[in-house]
Amino acid sequence: MSWQGEIAIAEAGKQDLMEKGRMQMGIHLQGLQRPLPVRLALTCRILYSKGHDSALAGQITARANEPDLYWTQALGFGFDEISPENLLKVDANLSVVEGQGMPNPANRFHSWIYQLRPDVNCIVHTHPLHIAALSMLGRPLRIAHMDSCMLFEEVAFLSEWPGVPVGNEEGVLIAQILGNRRAALLAHHGLVVAARSVEEACVVAVQLERAAKLQLLAESAGEIRDIDPDLAREAHDWILQPARTNATFAYFVRELMRLHPNSEIRDFITT
């Protein structure tokens, strides 16, 4: 490189460099091009591998192509067992229109979120260990690390537990608490993610559990220092780009296949 080129690099502004990086990510980062039921099943497997296991607790849903219908897992299967074959297509009242089995009755609050949030295409609800522990303390999630900045100003907090969320009242409450954010921490319960895509829901859910773990570790050692809000918003927009999110999801899938080379995951991802 010539010395003129070195000077040009040194004089480039941060915003210009970030915009160049965004353009390059849009060109070079590749997502996983698979049907929606396959990506939903993979998300369940990924979340299980990342500590979101809690027996039959938790749900995942995604809008189907048809209006007012969405995909979800059949009740009776753990996240580590979900495949495209045990997914159901249901309507807003949880009546099954495709597939065998029954949905989780607690899915009703998903219907309320979809009704109030046309921007949401995938919802994840789980009870991961560190999120659940934080919810027992009645503390909102603290965002104070660069990796967690995708969650900055994105996590609502429901401070009182309304009980098992199978009624319309709980659906209205959770949807209202969520507002226009991508996630909520539910006291004495778990998390809910409302995202633009399956990939985004998966990546945000993984980061929520990691952020809760970081918070509990940090609080056990001292006082958490807040970060500059403007820098946190900058990092939020940088990390949560769709191209980067899709590439992260594709990485999680490759990691999953390396960890479980002899499982049926390879079968339904390659069909």
Tens digit of each residue's pLDDT (9 = 90 or more) over 218-246: 999 999 999 999 999 999 998 999 999 99
Full-prediction pTM beyond 0.95?
no
Residue 201's pLDDT is what?
A: 98
pLDDT greater than 90 at residue 31: no
The mean pLDDT of 134-148, rounded to a whole number, is 94
Q: Worst-scoring range by mean pLDDT, 84-98, 134-148, 162-176, 243-257?
A: 162-176
Amino acid (1-letter code) at residue 154: E
**Does 5 reside within a domain?**
no
| Residues facing 155 on adjacent strands | 183
The candidate with the shortest Cα–Cα distance to 187, out of 160, 154, 156, 215, is 160
Residue with tokens 């009645």: 138
Which residue carries 């027996």 as its tokens?
A: 55
Query: Are 155 and 181 within 8 A, CB to CB?
Result: yes
Average pLDDT of 79-100?
Answer: 95
Section 34-44 average pLDDT? 94
- Per-residue model confidence (pLDDT) at position 5: 54
Amino acid at 90: V
Tell me if 122 sits within 8 A of 200, measured CB to CB: yes
pLDDT of 6 above 90 = no
Residue at 131 is within a domain: yes
Q: Is-contact 78 56, C-beta < 8 A?
A: yes
Query: What's the full length of the chain, in residues?
Result: 271
* Residue whose pair of structure tokens reads 């067992």 in the numeric block: 81
Q: Is residue 6 part of a domain?
A: no
Is residue 176 in some structural domain? yes
For residue range 148-206, what is the model confidence (pLDDT) as tens digits?
999 999 999 998 887 777 767 788 889 899 999 999 999 999 999 999 999 999 999 99
Q: Which is higher by pLDDT, 186 or 262?
A: 186
Establish if 19 belongs to a structural domain: no
Tokens (6 digits) for 267 = 């079968």
Domain-embedded: residue 120 = yes
8 A C-beta contact, residue 248 and residue 168: no
Does the pLDDT value for residue 8 go beyond 80?
Answer: no
Domain count for the chain: 1
Residue 93 in any domain: the answer is yes
Average pLDDT on 13-30 reads: 73
Per-residue pLDDT, 3: 44
Give the torsion through C-alpha atoms of 131, 221, 230, 212, to 10 deg. Answer: -10
Q: What is the CATH number of the domain that holds 223?
A: 3.40.225.10
Whether 8 is in a domain gets the answer no
Residue 152's SS3 state is coil
Which of 248-263 are b and which e, b meaning 16 or more Cβ less than 10 Å from the residue's Cβ?
A: bbbebbeebbeeeeee
- Percent pLDDT > 70 in the chain is 93
The DSSP line for 7-67 is HHHHH--HHHHHHHHHHHHHHH-------HHHHHHHHHHHHHHTT--BTB--EEEEE-SST
Beta strand spans in the chain (E): 59-63, 69-73, 87-91, 96-98, 122-126, 155-158, 183-186, 190-195
pLDDT per residue as tens digits for the range 69-78: 999 999 999 9
Res 246: pLDDT: 94
What is the domain range of residue 160?
34-265
Q: How far is CA 104 from CA 55, 78, 91, 199, 203, in A?
A: 13, 12, 13, 22, 23
Token readout for 164 is 């098992």
